[in-house]
Amino acid sequence: MYSGESKGQKFPPMQGYPKWDGLADPDPNCNGHYDYPAIGFSGNATYPEYLTDINVLNCPSSARTEGVSSITDEIIASEPGCAVYKGALGQTDMSYLYWGYLLDLVDMGELTQPDDVRDLAVQSKTLLVPAQIINIYMKINAVASNWGPDMARLDEDVTEPLFYPNKGNGRGNTIYRLKEGIERFLITDINNPGASSAAQSTIIVMSDMLSNTGADALFNHIPGGSNVLYMDGHVEFQRYQSEGPAPCNRLIANAIGLLAQ
């Protein structure tokens, strides 16, 4: 529904920072609610017009003590400075991951060059992560304006200069936003009439939270795997394999362990 009404038939952008947070310091008047850029879709773009019940964003199997929530009257009563954000969603990645971009350099079989995988350091942890994921994260981590996400820039492709050059789609320097028709970039046989649907069936849209950093609360279905939603609309359960396909491999699990909080 969202893509049918959005410019360029794009899927929702990523959340980035919540409305009360920004690139440097969060709004000092509303500073107790998940102040980090989320690896989920934008609540600003989808709630409440397209997403009417936020409880669907909370996995019943999640070990987290808190789920996705909005700024309520109760929060405002204890923190009056949050009143201007009433109804806004906090982090949308409490249970599920959403990248918002076309991922084509994250499967173990695709990572054929030594620099396809890089060290990423967050706080006291350093782990190996696909360079393409780092390029996306560096984009959303740097996009903020007036204690909130810069929605226009979050809706753009990730373009040059990439943090790691030549780690975009097709090993170029652009990582495209998910949108209707994006599967054309993955089609190698233009004479195959079923190529489009086949390509859509391989493009990751969302998946369960998973991590291998010892944070059990970040792994919904520990130790089994993850439900994965693909662009053609089908969902399948993918078992966790350290050297397996994305998103249930150790490199994606490393990324989530570092970036999700």
Per-residue tens of pLDDT for the chain, all 261 residues? 899 999 999 999 988 777 666 555 556 777 665 556 788 898 888 998 999 998 898 888 887 777 788 888 988 888 888 888 888 887 888 889 998 999 999 988 889 999 999 998 877 888 999 999 999 988 887 776 665 667 888 899 999 999 999 999 999 999 999 999 998 887 766 677 666 666 899 999 999 988 877 655 677 787 789 999 999 999 999 999 999 999 999 999 899 888 875
The one-character DSSP state at 177 is B
Q: Are 39 and 68 in contact (CB under 8 A)?
A: no
Distance CA 240, CA 247 (A): 9
Q: Which has the closest alpha carbon to 47: 20, 18, 75, 74?
A: 18
| Residues contacting residue 163 through CB under 8 Å, at least 6 positions apart | 131, 134, 135, 138
Query: Which ranges in 145-238 belong to alpha helices (H)?
Result: 151-154, 195-200
The one-letter amino acid at 95: S
Query: Which ranges in 171-235 belong to alpha helices (H)?
Result: 195-200
Distance CA 144, CA 252 (A): 25
Give backbone dihedrals phi and psi of 92, rounded to 5 degrees, phi first. -95, 5
Q: 209: how many CB neighbours lie within 10 A of its CB?
A: 27
